[in-house]
Every structure is written in structure tokens, then in C-alpha cells.
Amino acid sequence: MNNNSFFLIVGVLTFALMGCSTAPGNDEVSKLNNPVVESNRRHSSMAKPLRQSPVPSFNLVYSSWKGTPYRLGGSSKRGIDCSAFVQVGYSSVFNQRLPRTTGEQARLGEWIPLAQATEGDLVFFKTGRTMRHVGIYLGNSEFLHASTSQGVVISRLDNPYWRRTFWQARRLHTQ
């Protein structure tokens, strides 16, 4: 391994361990002493533009969680329930914390007619005498949720089951 490779590896590892942070006021010093920056400066004509992170969206949330199994009380990729999944979605897209349970979430924001629902509104269902279910409306009669039988999926509100159990739609005031 030559010196340039060694410094490049050390620089990358240092960057990864620091989590992209530098001490206040030390930006120029760290650039001068960083072999990765120095290497990039020498090869700037060949450098590729940095790839920007995608804008958070419910489609990205779905892509990341698709197929994750349902688990009552779960909140991880090993298993998640409907209210925890709604928490994850709102945290990812709106950087907004929601209460943990469906019952608490059903009291947030304001009631809206389903016909006026737009992407990001919450849709609630009465799936049993005391059981409630929640999902995130996507538009076009589709909603994203953690299904007890299929895990994280997109379902249609005009499906006979969901149409029959639909309870309410609520619009939250996002920050």
C-alpha cells in the first residue's frame, strides 16, 4: 500500500467516525490536514458532483419498510405495529413526533371528510369492538400502513374490508 492509499483510508475512516462534524471554527484547518480533501483538490477536474440526499417522502418510507412484518408493540424492522409505523413515517417526512398509540393519534389535528383527504392525512379504522388501526393517506384512495396480515403495505380504501371498517380521517398540523 502506498502513502496516498494509506492517507485516503485514514481520512475516510476519520470522516466516518466523526459523523461529518468538525469543531466550530476549525473548518479551514481540518481541510488543510485532511488527505481526502487534499486528494480531491488535486483531482478536482475528475471529481463527480456530490449526490444529494433524496427529499423525505412517504414513498421513501415505504421503500425502506416494505414487507416489514407486523408485530403488536413492535417498532423496528424486525416487526412494527400500525401506530409505531405512523410515528416513523411522520418523523421521517415531517420531522414531527407523534404519540405512540392509535387512540392518542386519533385525537390529534382535526377531523376531515375522507373526500378532502390529501397525502399525509391519517386514516383510522375500527377493526374490532375495541381495536383501532391507523395508516397514512397517500392519495388516489391509497394508504400506507402496517397490516397485521401483510406487514408494511399500501392498501386501497375502496377494498371492501377497509371501506367497511373506515372510521375517520384526520389532518395534522405539520411543523
Contacts for 113 with CB less than 8 Å, ≥ 6 apart: 169
Active site includes 145? Answer: yes
Active site includes 82? Answer: yes
- Beta bridge partners of residue 166, listed in sequence order: 125
Contacts for 144 with CB less than 8 Å, ≥ 6 apart: 58, 61, 62, 85, 89, 135, 136, 138, 152, 153, 154
Q: Are strands 79-80 and 132-139 parallel, antiparallel or unpaired?
A: unpaired
Identify whether the C-beta of residue 108 lies closer than 8 Å to the C-beta of residue 174: no
Can you tell me the distance from the alpha carbon of 103 to that of 131, in angstroms, rounded to the nearest whole number? 9
Active site includes 173? Answer: no
Catalytic residue among 20, 43, 82, 173: 82
Can you tell me the distance from the alpha carbon of 62 to that of 85, in angstroms, rounded to the nearest whole number? 10
Catalytic residue among 20, 43, 133, 173: 133
Sign of CA dihedral 95, 96, 101, 102: negative
Catalytic residues: 82, 133, 145
